[in-house]
């Protein structure tokens, strides 16, 4: 039996967890496309299986089983998509919830708390939990999958998300906003309590948002970014992935955030500016 066949058998038995090279979960399958991430993976005792490109030298390794592929990330996604889906349970929607016309809520894996309003043409997929007193605007999508495409190629693949979405109480989500499930089983995309999210926003897989934040229209938050409390995001702000943003920051219109930000800062066009003498 080939190494890939053995791996696929382990996946079918749920003996394999999926994750990135920094995974803290034992028996993780991951991928590395460069020497930097390869080093992180080989030093991580939780990485048991690793997919790398043919041209990347690995050397001797005893704890990690190495697989070669021309497109490691594509192969990783294919294997992730082939894993057994998250166990299902019937959706639980409180009797006080108002669901307006033409909305679609999965029959499985959804929990919606008391006095929440779901607008028109909303799609809520499996693995979504919504707290009490929330307002979900029209045409919102919660718990969706995504598409991955390689740079400078025509190759693309649907990435089935197997994590969940947790939305705290008293959250307002504006029209046409989307919030992805986290990528891997056992993970979640988390939106805390008392957040105000405008229209046309996007929160990618694995994002962590604290409490009492304001997001104006068209804010884009990339995957696995962590945002704490009491932040103000102006219209059109976007972040790169895996960032950490502290508390009580004011981030102005159109800023592109590409590095970690502490707390109590005023960000103009992605750069730190003097703190204005205003409260928000």
Residue written as token pair 């190629």: 153
Question: d(Cα 68, Cα 10) in Å, to the nearest integer?
Answer: 18
* For range 61-82, the mean pLDDT: 88
pLDDT tens-digit map of 254-273 = 999 999 999 999 998 766 65
Question: d(Cα 106, Cα 127) in Å, to the nearest integer?
Answer: 9
Q: Is the pLDDT of residue 98 over 90?
A: yes
For the structural domain made of 92-272, what CATH number should be given?
Answer: 2.160.10.10
Question: CB of 59 within 8 A of CB of 39?
Answer: no
Question: CB of 143 within 8 A of CB of 128?
Answer: yes
pLDDT tens-digit map of 78-88 = 999 888 776 67
pLDDT tens-digit map of 8-23 = 888 888 889 999 999 9
User: What pTM does this model have?
Assistant: 0.88
* For range 193-213, the mean pLDDT: 97
Q: What is the DSSP string of 152-209?
A: TSS-EEEE---SEEEE-SS-EE-TT-EEEPPSSTT-EEEE-SS-EE-TT-EE-TT-EE
Q: Is the pLDDT of residue 279 over 90?
A: no
Domain ranges of the chain: 3-82, 92-272
Helix or strand or coil: residue 87? Answer: coil
CB-based contacts of 229, cutoff 8 Å, min separation 6: 192, 210, 211, 212, 213, 247, 248
Q: What is the pLDDT of residue 153?
A: 67
Q: Is the pLDDT of residue 29 over 70?
A: yes
Question: CB of 54 within 8 A of CB of 35?
Answer: no
């Amino acid at each position: 039996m080939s190494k890939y066949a053995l791996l696929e058998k382990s996946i079918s038995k749920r003996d394999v967890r999926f994750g990135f090279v920094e995974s803290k979960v034992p028996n993780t399958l991951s991928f590395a496309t460069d020497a930097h991430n390869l080093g992180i993976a080989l030093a991580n005792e939780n990485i048991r299986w690793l997919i790398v490109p043919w041209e990347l030298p690995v050397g001797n390794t005893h704890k990690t089983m190495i697989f070669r592929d021309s497109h490691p990330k594509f192969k990783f996604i294919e294997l992730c998509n082939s894993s057994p889906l998250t166990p299902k349970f019937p959706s639980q929607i409180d009797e006080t919830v108002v669901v307006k016309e033409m909305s679609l809520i999965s029959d499985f894996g959804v929990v919606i708390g008391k006095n929440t309003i779901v607008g028109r043409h909303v799609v809520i997929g499996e693995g979504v939990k919504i707290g009490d007193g929330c307002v979900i605007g029209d045409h919102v999508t919660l718990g969706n999958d995504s598409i991955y495409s390689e740079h400078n190629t025509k190759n693309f693949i649907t990435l089935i998300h197997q994590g969940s979405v947790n939305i705290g109480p008293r959250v307002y989500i504006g029209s046409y906003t989307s919030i992805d499930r986290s990528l891997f089983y056992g993970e979640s995309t988390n939106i805390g309590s008392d957040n105000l999210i405008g229209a046309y926003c996007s929160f990618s897989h694995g994002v962590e948002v604290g409490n009492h934040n304001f997001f104006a229209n068209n804010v884009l938050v990339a995957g696995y970014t962590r945002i704490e409390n009491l932040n103000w995001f102006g219209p059109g702000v976007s972040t790169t992935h895996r960032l950490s943003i502290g508390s009580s920051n004011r981030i102005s219109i159109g800023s592109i955030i590409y590095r970690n930000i502490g707390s109590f800062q005023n960000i103009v066009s992605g750069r730190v500016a003097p703190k204005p003498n205003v409260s928000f």
